[in-house]
Structure 1
Amino acid sequence: MSQQSSKPEAPKSGGWIKPAVEYGPIVLFFISYKIWGLMPATAVLVAASVAATIVGYLRAGRLPWAPIITTAIVVVFGLLTLIFHDDTFIKMKPTVVYTLFAATLWGGLLLKKPLMERLMGTSLKMDHAGWRKLEARFALFCAGMAVLNEVVWRTQTENFWVNFKFGSIFLTFLFMATQLPMIKRHMLPDPAESESKGAAGE
């Protein structure tokens, strides 16, 4: 009984960690920018990213590699922005993160070891073909976001870029929503459900 009761807690904890680590600092960055401007908001982003990562680790006992790498890049580019008082670094940070993720995902596909399947396979039961499709599409999404970030920060105002950075949260959710039909087509049957149906048939 104790083992069964502990299993549902892991997805719940993981579900809290992912948005807190990935999106919480961006929300605080957006709010801080509207109040104080870019440099103070960058300091808030660095502090919030580190704090979210630490809290997430203490809560779950471990963290996926993606938020850890993202936090490290935020700290490096954020500190460079503050030290040199040059907003180029913080504006390029999303480009670096998206490019790194896209390259890593494509690398997993080339090695025929989809990274997303290894990271999420315990919580999302799909066949191998489905994981390859999802990873390829997510890699393309990351590459597209990297290019889009470069276009936006180089051609638009600072305020427009900050709004775009905040809006990238919704773009990510929208992208994942468009993948739901494909995910459903490649979902594997639940063994427990299959056994219960078989028992009912007998």
Structure 2
Amino acid sequence: MAEQPIIEREPTDPRKREKVSPALKFALEMGPGLVFLFVTLRGAWLTEKFPALAAFGEPILLATAFFMAATAISLSVSWVLTRSLPVMPLVSAVVVFVFGALALYLQDKVFAFMKPTIINALFGAVLLGGLVFKRSLLAYVFDSAFSLDAEGWRKLSFRWGLFFFFLAVLNEVIWRNFSEEFWALFKVVGVMPITLLFTLTQLPLIMRHTVEEKPEA
């Protein structure tokens, strides 16, 4: 039996099998963000109830610490269930840990504000850069939801790459011009509807390039 790799197998690898339901996968990806939002909005209350938390600093920095912990737990659950780590959440986690650690060590919340900018810009660069090497890396994210031909994955990867850069610019606009609470709320609640709307606009492309899966004999 071939050894299971640490990083999830390529979407086209016939040995890849989904061991996590779409609902649980969604919960693992959204959970850390919801924790971040809750602690940002209720940080003062948490510090009052648990004075030791004051060592982390103001609410946005406390939320960053909780976000890092929730991200680590999410990846750990993924590892326990599948014995591999999903590519995109893993890349995101690296940025979260680096910028989160800088924010906490330097007590500078700017690092926390810029983290989504860096993550989205990185994802955009990875997707568009992958196309340069003729690899549609978006398939790692959506292969369990869609089955597309090569041209479909290429076009979808290009569009998502541009969309990630749009989200990076949007995050810069929000955190530089609005309150911390509004930014935290938008980061968790606002980005999701925008992303869902963008996904819906891609359905015609997805329908045109969907490959019918042949039933197993």
What TM-score do you get using the length of structure 2 for normalisation? 0.78
1:88 aligns with 2:110: yes
CA–CA distance in structure 1, aligned partners of residues 87 and 139 of structure 2: 14
Q: Choose the corresponding residue for 1:25, options 26, 32, 36.
A: 32
**Correspondence list, 1:142-161, <5 A:** 142-161=164-183
CA contact (8 A) 1:21 1:67 kept: no
CA contact (8 A) 2:19 2:82 kept: no
Which portions of structure 1, spanning 4 or more consecutive aligned residues, are displaced by more than 6 angstroms? Answer: none
Question: What code does the residue aligned with 1:48 have?
Answer: A
CA–CA distance in structure 2, aligned partners of residues 54 and 114 of structure 1: 27
Match of 1:34 in 2: 41
Question: What code does the residue aligned with 1:124 have?
Answer: F
Q: Which runs of 5+ in 2 are unaligned?
A: 1-16, 44-58
Across the aligned residues of Structure 1 and Structure 2, the Cα RMSD in angstroms comes to: 2.2
Structure 1 position 14, deviation (Å)? 4.9
CA contact (8 A) 1:14 1:60 kept: no
Q: Which runs of 5+ in 1 are unaligned?
A: 1-9, 196-202
Q: Which has a greater percent of helix?
A: 1
Deviation string, structure 1 residues 65-119 (Cα, Å, up to 9, x no partner): 1111111111111121111111100100001101111111111111222112366
Structure 1 position 189, deviation (Å)? 2.1
% identical aligned pairs: 38
Deviation string, structure 1 residues 16-69 (Cα, Å, up to 9, x no partner): 453233211000110111111212211110110111111111111112211111
Compare CA radii of gyration and give the structure with the larger one.
1
**Correspondence list, 1:128-139, <5 A:** 128-139=150-161
CA–CA distance in structure 2, aligned partners of residues 119 and 32 of structure 1: 28
What TM-score do you get using the length of structure 1 for normalisation? 0.83
Match of 1:69 in 2: 91
